Amino acid sequence: MKKHILVVPGDGIGQEVTAVGKKVLERIASKFGHEFTYDEALIGHAAIEATGNPLPEETLAKMKASDAVLFGAVGHPKYDNDPSAKVRPEQGLLKMRKELGLYANLRPIKLFDELLGASSIKPEILKGSDILFFRELTGDIYFGEKGRKNDGDTAYDLAEYSRFEVERIARKAFEAARTRRKKLCSVDKANVLETSRLWREVVQKIAPEYPDVEVEHQFVDAAAMMLIKDPRRFDVVVTANLFGDILTDEASQIAGSMGMLASASVGDSTGVYEPIHGSAHDITGKGVANPLASVLSAALLLDISFGLKEEADTIIAAVDQLLKDGFRTRDIADATTPADKILNTETAGQELL
Ligand code: NAI
Ligand code: MG
């Protein structure tokens, strides 16, 4: 198969982990006889430094012209400490999602058995957890009108959802539930928020079209609690942009570390595949970032954008084998991990495939 992949490393550990994700794609191509070509483009802080724009037109054009994007992360401490900075790395990320119509963010929370002990949650509660989140990605409070009034003393962010936006992500989640354990949990705050009332109304309206899927509605606060109390009760979860952002960071503790969680953003055009973590300034440049989230993002890329299921499964099996062999990056290591089994970003890549 001939495909063109755009690698957009972004900032911080985004650069370090996507290098490993790309290497794994190269190995898969040679193992299975595919012809993947690659290009690179700038986003985030790196793009601001080079062009003044967090998402240069050239990057956007390259994204639209590619078959899939392997993405890293954006961010720099400079902006975290200066909330008033007008040009910001995350503007590039949000604009990319909007421009490419990436309205569905799939976040599989997959727990590798070998990492049962890496979580702060008890193994007997975690064992067998397997959740697929559908986070809506192009609406909600992140994209509504925002600003200040009363001489800057009052700030506002407007949350907005249309029926159309809710329905298209809900349908994707229903369809995914059909291929799994046929359970869908829709998470909202319909007791308080109008956007959530519309959300629930839309999900209830289309539910009869999926009679084989068992639907439940949960308030986000209760869902946050249930997620660590009894993660096994969840199969597919669908939720709004803000709730999904927060719940999936929480859910990363089911998988053991942020460094283990991959995501796929899909919608109207090219799919973008990226770790759920950010640019992690605290470990940038130290070479210790766990690259497995990027490697597993590469697997999602092969599966979802190219339909290469066997190739994707080969990557997941290789990650499983690496963990079975006792290797750990620092974020998932514990006191029992022998020193010669501790991997850094680069050696983790070398141990795979
Ligand atoms: P973060 O996800 O970058 O890091 C949170 C914590 O998890 C840190 O202690 C970090 O060291 C650890 N961590 C994250 N990924 C890891 C990996 N692969 N291996 C080992 N440890 C890992 O979130 P944080 O610290 O809140 O934000 C840092 C920057 O990233 C900020 O500028 C923020 O705006 C940006 N960010 C970007 C995102 C994106 O590009 N999608 C998402 C979230 C944050
Ligand atoms: Mg987040």
Reported as a single tens digit per residue, the pLDDT across 290-324 is: 999 999 999 999 999 999 999 999 999 999 999 99
Nearest atom (ligand 1) to Cα of 77: 32
Looking at the structure, tell me whether residues 106 and 150 fall in a common domain: no
Looking at the structure, tell me whether residues 249 and 129 fall in a common domain: yes
- 325 assigned binding-site residue: no
Looking at the structure, tell me whether residues 280 and 345 fall in a common domain: yes
Looking at the structure, tell me whether residues 245 and 133 fall in a common domain: yes
Give the pLDDT band of residue 82 (cuts 50, 70, 90).
Answer: confident
| Cα of 339 from ligand 2 centre, angstroms | 31
Residue of 13, 15, 277, 297 to test ligand 1 pocket, by largest number of atoms within 8 Å of CB: 277
Structural domain range at position 142: 120-255
> Would you state the structure tokens that stand for residue 163, as one six-digit string?
């029926």
Question: Do residues 241 and 135 make contact, with C-beta atoms less than 8 angstroms apart?
Answer: yes
Q: Which of 202, 228, 255 is the last residue of a domain?
A: 255
Question: Do residues 348 and 289 make contact, with C-beta atoms less than 8 angstroms apart?
Answer: no
- 107 assigned binding-site residue: yes
Residue of 42, 250, 279 to test ligand 1 pocket, by largest number of atoms within 8 Å of CB: 279
Can you give the pLDDT at residue 353? 82
Alpha carbon distance 101, 177 (integer Å):
22
Give the pLDDT band of residue 196 (cuts 50, 70, 90).
Answer: very high
Residue nearest to atom 7 of ligand 1 (CA): 258
Q: 105: closest CA among 308, 6, 210, 245?
A: 245
Mean pLDDT in residue range 198-223: 98
> Would you state the structure tokens that stand for residue 248, as one six-digit string?
């999936």
The pLDDT > 90 percentage for the chain reads: 90
Looking at the structure, tell me whether residues 58 and 83 fall in a common domain: yes
Nearest atom (ligand 1) to Cα of 80: 32
Can you give the pLDDT at residue 245? 94
Can you give the pLDDT at residue 56? 98
Can you give the pLDDT at residue 186? 98
Q: What is the pLDDT of residues 59-77, one digit of tens each?
A: 999 999 999 999 999 999 9
Smallest-distance ligand from the CA of 248: 2
Residue nearest to atom 10 of ligand 1 (CA): 280
Neighbours of 282 (CB within 10 A): 9
Looking at the structure, tell me whether residues 202 and 264 fall in a common domain: no
Smallest-distance ligand from the CA of 332: 1
**Is 212 exposed, middle or buried, given 0-12, 13-18 or 19+ CB atoms closer than 10 A?**
exposed
Q: 188 versus 118: which is more confidently predicted?
A: 188
Question: Do residues 230 and 236 make contact, with C-beta atoms less than 8 angstroms apart?
Answer: no
Looking at the structure, tell me whether residues 195 and 72 fall in a common domain: no
Give the pLDDT band of residue 80 (cuts 50, 70, 90).
Answer: confident
How far is CA 259 from each of CA 77, 207, 264, 277, rounded to the nearest angstrom? 19, 35, 15, 7
Mean pLDDT in residue range 45-50: 97
| Cα of 13 from ligand 1 centre, angstroms | 8
Mean of the per-residue pLDDT values for the chain?
96
- 303 assigned binding-site residue: no
Looking at the structure, tell me whether residues 237 and 197 fall in a common domain: yes
Phi, psi (5° rounding) for residue 316?
-60, -40
Mean pLDDT in residue range 208-218: 98
Which value does ipTM take for this structure?
A: 0.98
Smallest-distance ligand from the CA of 330: 1
Alpha carbon distance 165, 201 (integer Å):
13
User: Which residues form ligand 1's pocket by a CB distance below 6 Å?
Assistant: 13, 17, 73-75, 80, 90, 93, 258-259, 277-283, 289-290, 293, 331
Question: Do residues 291 and 349 make contact, with C-beta atoms less than 8 angstroms apart?
Answer: yes
Nearest atom (ligand 1) to Cα of 293: 18
Q: What is the pLDDT of residues 13-35, one digit of tens each?
A: 999 999 999 999 999 999 999 99
Give the pLDDT band of residue 83 (cuts 50, 70, 90).
Answer: confident
How far is CA 161 from each of CA 88, 117, 195, rounded to the nearest angstrom? 25, 40, 6
Looking at the structure, tell me whether residues 331 and 266 fall in a common domain: yes
Q: Catalytic residue positions?
A: 142, 189, 221, 245, 249
Looking at the structure, tell me whether residues 189 and 242 fall in a common domain: yes
Q: What is the pLDDT of residues 102-147, one digit of tens each?
A: 999 999 998 899 998 878 899 999 999 999 999 999 999 999 999 9
Give the pLDDT band of residue 267 (cuts 50, 70, 90).
Answer: very high
Can you give the pLDDT at residue 46? 96
Residue nearest to atom 36 of ligand 1 (CA): 278
Residue 198's contacts (CB-CB under 8 Å, 6 or more residues apart) are: 161, 163, 166
| Cα of 280 from ligand 1 centre, angstroms | 4
- 88 assigned binding-site residue: no
Whether the per-residue pLDDT at 252 is higher than 90: the answer is: no
Residue nearest to atom 23 of ligand 1 (CA): 278
Q: What is the C-alpha radius of gyration for the chain, rounded to an integer number of angstroms?
A: 20
Q: Are strands 68-73 and 2-10 parallel, antiparallel or unpaired?
A: parallel
Looking at the structure, tell me whether residues 159 and 51 fall in a common domain: no
| Cα of 353 from ligand 2 centre, angstroms | 29
Can you give the pLDDT at residue 67? 98
Q: Which of 206, 224, 255 is the last residue of a domain?
A: 255
Looking at the structure, tell me whether residues 126 and 251 fall in a common domain: yes
The pLDDT > 70 percentage for the chain reads: 100
Domain count, the chain: 2
